[in-house]
A = this chain, B = another copy of it.
């Protein structure tokens, strides 16, 4: 599906900023608004920061993007959506990677007592050290 089709299928108007953001997100990974803005400006003459925020909010609202916000870092956006995957975040450098659902299908976790809350999503964040930061720690030990 083209970006235009994607947008129309969700009832969103088709605009240059939206198409550009979709393209950038399709490049993969988890990006901050800052990074997305930089890449979008690389394809379009000019886009306001505000427009990028608005576009991302719209895309998330209709399920074309997902917002992730690990403690301690600004919001990240990704295109991979609808498969309820989770994330591993590096305590050292903040890098992040996808992890497939730990226990079957979404919602893959079933809390016993929810205190009357009506739960619709279980978000899992794994914390640890990425390969590069593990090496750094080893080096420190050796020193």
Interface residues of A (CB under 8 A from B): 67-69, 71-72, 75, 86, 88, 90, 97-100, 102-103, 109-131, 134
A128 CB contact (under 8 Å) in B86, B119, B127: B119
Q: Are the C-beta atoms of B131 and A127 separated by less than 8 Å? A: no
| Copies of this chain, whole number | 2
Please state if B90 and A117 are interface contacts (CB–CB under 8 Å).
yes
Residue of B69, B88, B115 touching A71 (CB-CB under 8 A): B69
* Residues of chain B within 8 A of A98, CB atoms compared: 115
Check A131 against B110 for contact (C-beta < 8 Å). Answer: no
11 contacts between A and B (CB under 8 A): A68-B71, A88-B111, A97-B114, A99-B112, A99-B115, A114-B126, A114-B128, A117-B129, A118-B129, A118-B134, A121-B128
The 4 closest A-B CB pairs, nearest first, are: A69-B71, A119-B128, A116-B131, A121-B127
Whether the pair B124, A122 counts as a contact (CB closer than 8 A) is yes
Closest chain B residue, CB of each to CB of A127: B121
If A67-B71, A117-B90 touch, whether A109 touches B126 (CB-CB below 8 Å) is: yes
Q: How far is the CA of A113 from the CA of B94 in the complex (A)?
A: 18
When the two chains form their complex, are residues A123 and B119 in contact, meaning their CB atoms are under 8 A apart? no
